[in-house]
């Protein structure tokens, strides 16, 4: 019988008297591919941190490679072959790809001077391991979210790992990149390297894992062979109730004049000849491979990267959106792909984030903020969007991913926006929060807003959009109307080179 690589026995972990983990046990064998599922706040991160030695359990045992640790430290876990890729990537944004990948190797060798050739050789080998090609001398801060994720994965595989813990590793990856990652995980299995895979994407959970452990409110509520589960049963165990998967249906479009229309819209070097219309009450989707141009299109519609050709109309009237201010005045809102660096002021309070777009509207006659009015607006949106925070004064960084995304939405709802451009609206969000966000988007549409969802999460697009555009190399190559399904979209996107 093969000895377990990791044993977690009856672990309890409390924070301020509240259980983050309550009598949780888990065993991982060498080469095993196990998925850890659960909503935000279920205890997944706490369990990962206990295994990695970042935090210590209050009760219970952590055993690595047969050795029991009374006080497991991160360095002990690393020496035992535990590598963790956290959701925030833990990369140095001001260093190059090569430096991020090879800096530990240089330090371990005790070098006083950097051997640049050796560093780039190490980095190139790391990227080749997961079959990706990213310029080694690019600063990580300039990379897309997807490429940052890939750099983090490549780095984790450099250090004789026996278990790689991947916390939402596919958050910003396209289907082709996910397939590539899954191929790497399969290769790791053949090398007896285990993977603990944390994901909110249930289809991925079913596709990649052999065994599944589900947590809810700090307890293990289900565990077994993945083949015994389907998406509905996983959702039930994660949330505690059955959730309907009804598709969004569009009521008849009453207005012949579109809320938003672009004609032969283009941005040199990014996209060209994009024409589409968005009517009140519609939710349309734009999808495609990484580099398709959809994010650049979003940034142009919002005035961050002003278009170089074509025209845009709001309510039938031509507008020039050459700045973010112009977009906001036109009633356009943008929810970015990376909410942590682009969508929120993380160290500012939840309340400050909600009113960030309307400061000019809540000034008193003396020119100062009317705090009574601000407090009323903040409370309204916290209640309306069910943002889980004990106090609006708490920093945005203290919230879960789903609640952070609700704050981003609240910021634009407070601004009375009518056109919502959502780039990966539920990235890194658990299934319960995702469904609540989708419900809010449908409610916005039913009240006359127009919504554009830019996403490579095909189930999300299919469930929530009445029309879908596929982009490739900066152009719209296909439009799907009303009757389309996941297999059609996946096949179409997979055929693009």
* pLDDT tens by residue, 119-149: 899 999 999 887 788 999 999 999 877 788 7
Whether the predicted pLDDT of 247 surpasses 70: yes
Rounded to two decimals, what is the model's pTM?
A: 0.68
Please state, for a pLDDT cut of 70, what percent of the chain lies above it: 95
Q: What span, in angstroms and rounded, lies between the C-alpha atoms of 347 and 396?
A: 6
Q: What span, in angstroms and rounded, lies between the C-alpha atoms of 125 and 320?
A: 47
Q: Which of 291, 281, 321 is nearest to 305 (CA)?
A: 321
Provide the pLDDT for residue 254: 60
* Alpha-helical segments (H) within 249-387: 294-301, 324-329, 350-354, 371-384
Q: What span, in angstroms and rounded, lies between the C-alpha atoms of 44 and 21?
A: 9
Query: Residue 108: which pLDDT band, with cuts at 50, 70 and 90?
Result: low
Query: Residue 34: which pLDDT band, with cuts at 50, 70 and 90?
Result: very high
User: Is residue 442 a contact partner of residue 417, using CB atoms and an 8 Å limit?
Assistant: no
Whether the predicted pLDDT of 249 surpasses 80: no
Report domain 260-494's class. alpha beta
Whether the predicted pLDDT of 432 surpasses 90: no
Look up residue 96 and give its DSSP letter: B
| Token reading at 144 | 């897309």
User: Is residue 155 a contact partner of residue 98, using CB atoms and an 8 Å limit?
Assistant: no
* Alpha-helical segments (H) within 33-84: 44-52, 74-79
User: Which of the pair, 2 or 331, is modelled with greater confidence?
Assistant: 331
Average pLDDT over residues 422-441: 81
Bridge-based pairing of strands 82-85 and 163-167 is parallel
Q: Give the angle subtended at the CA of 290 by the CAs of 288 and 293, to the nearest 5°.
A: 70
Buried/exposed code over 171-193 (b: 16+ C-beta within 10 A; e: otherwise): bbbbbebbeebbebbeebbeeeb
Q: Where are the domains of the chain?
A: 6-239, 260-494
Chain position carrying tokens 């009598």:
23
Bridge-based pairing of strands 6-15 and 82-85 is unpaired
Q: What span, in angstroms and rounded, lies between the C-alpha atoms of 194 and 482?
A: 43
Average pLDDT over residues 92-116: 83
| Token reading at 186 | 């399969």
Provide the pLDDT for residue 6: 96
User: Which of the pair, 367 or 249, is modelled with greater confidence?
Assistant: 367
User: Is residue 180 a contact partner of residue 19, using CB atoms and an 8 Å limit?
Assistant: no
Please state, for a pLDDT cut of 90, what percent of the chain lies above it: 47
Q: What span, in angstroms and rounded, lies between the C-alpha atoms of 93 and 342?
A: 14
Q: What span, in angstroms and rounded, lies between the C-alpha atoms of 76 and 52?
A: 8
Average pLDDT, the chain: 87
Look up residue 360 and give its DSSP letter: G
Look up residue 341 and give its DSSP letter: I
Architecture category of domain 6-239 in CATH: 3-Layer(aba) Sandwich (3.40)
Provide the pLDDT for residue 231: 86
Do the domains spanning 6-239 and 260-494 agree at the CATH topology level?
yes
Most distant pair of Cα atoms in the chain: their distance = 77
Question: How many CB atoms neighbour CB 238 within 10 A?
Answer: 23
Q: What span, in angstroms and rounded, lies between the C-alpha atoms of 57 and 54?
A: 10
Provide the pLDDT for residue 273: 95
Q: Which of 398, 397, 364, 358 is nearest to 377 (CA)?
A: 358
Q: Which of 80, 87, 116 is nearest to 400 (CA)?
A: 87
Provide the pLDDT for residue 95: 94
Average pLDDT over residues 345-353: 90
């Amino acid at each position: 019988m093969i000895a377990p690589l990791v044993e977690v026995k009856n672990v309890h972990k409390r924070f301020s008297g509240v259980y983050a983990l309550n009598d949780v046990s888990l065993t991982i064998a060498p080469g095993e591919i196990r998925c850890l599922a659960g909503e935000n706040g279920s205890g997944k991160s706490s369990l990962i941190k206990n295994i990695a030695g970042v935090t210590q359990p209050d009760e219970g045992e952590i055993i690595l490679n047969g050795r029991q640790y009374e006080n497991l430290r991160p360095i002990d876990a690393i020496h035992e072959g535990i590598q963790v890729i956290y959701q925030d990537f833990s990369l140095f944004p001001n260093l190059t790809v090569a430096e991020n990948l090879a800096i530990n190797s240089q330090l371990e060798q005790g070098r006083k001077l950097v051997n640049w050739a050796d560093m780039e050789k190490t980095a190139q080998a790391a990227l080749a391991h997961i079959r990706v090609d990213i310029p080694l001398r690019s600063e990580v801060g300039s990379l897309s979210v997807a490429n940052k994720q890939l750099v983090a994965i490549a780095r984790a595989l450099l250090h004789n790992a026996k278990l790689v813990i991947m916390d939402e590793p596919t958050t910003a990856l396209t289907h082709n990149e996910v397939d590539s990652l899954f191929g790497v995980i399969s290769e790791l299995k053949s090398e007896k390297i285990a993977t603990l895979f944390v994901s909110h994407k249930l289809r991925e959970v079913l596709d990649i894992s052999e065994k599944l452990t589900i947590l809810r409110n700090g307890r293990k509520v289900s565990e077994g062979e993945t083949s015994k589960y389907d998406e509905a049963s996983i959702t039930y165990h994660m949330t505690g109730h059955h959730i309907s998967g009804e598709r969004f249906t569009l009521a008849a479009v009453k207005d012949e004049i579109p809320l938003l229309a672009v004609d032969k819209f283009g941005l040199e070097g990014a996209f060209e000849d994009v024409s589409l219309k968005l009517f009140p009450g519609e939710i349309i989707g734009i999808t495609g491979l990484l580099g398709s141009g959809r994010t650049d299109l979003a940034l142009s519609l919002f005035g961050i990267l002003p278009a170089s050709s074509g025209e845009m109309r709001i309510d039938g009237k031509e507008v020039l959106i050459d700045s973010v201010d112009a977009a906001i005045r036109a009633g356009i809102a943008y929810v970015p792909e990376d909410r942590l660096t682009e969508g929120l002021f993380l160290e500012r309070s939840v309340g400050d984030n909600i009113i960030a777009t309307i400061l000019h509207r809540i000034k008193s006659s003396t020119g100062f903020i009317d705090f009574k009015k601000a407090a009323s607006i903040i409370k309204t949106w916290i209640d309306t969007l069910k943002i889980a925070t004990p106090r609006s004064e708490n920093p945005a960084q203290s919230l879960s991913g789903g609640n952070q995304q609700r704050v981003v939405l609240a910021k634009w709802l407070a601004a009375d926006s009518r056109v919502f451009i959502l780039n990966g609206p539920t990235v890194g969000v658990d299934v319960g929060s995702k469904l609540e966000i989708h419900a809010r988007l449908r409610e916005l549409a039913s009240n006359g807003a127009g919504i554009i969802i830019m996403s490579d999460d095909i189930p999300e697009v299919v469930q929530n959009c009445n029309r879908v555009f596929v982009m490739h190399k900066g152009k719209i190559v296909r439009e799907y109307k009303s009757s389309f399904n996941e297999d059609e979209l996946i096949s179409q996107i997979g055929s693009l080179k």
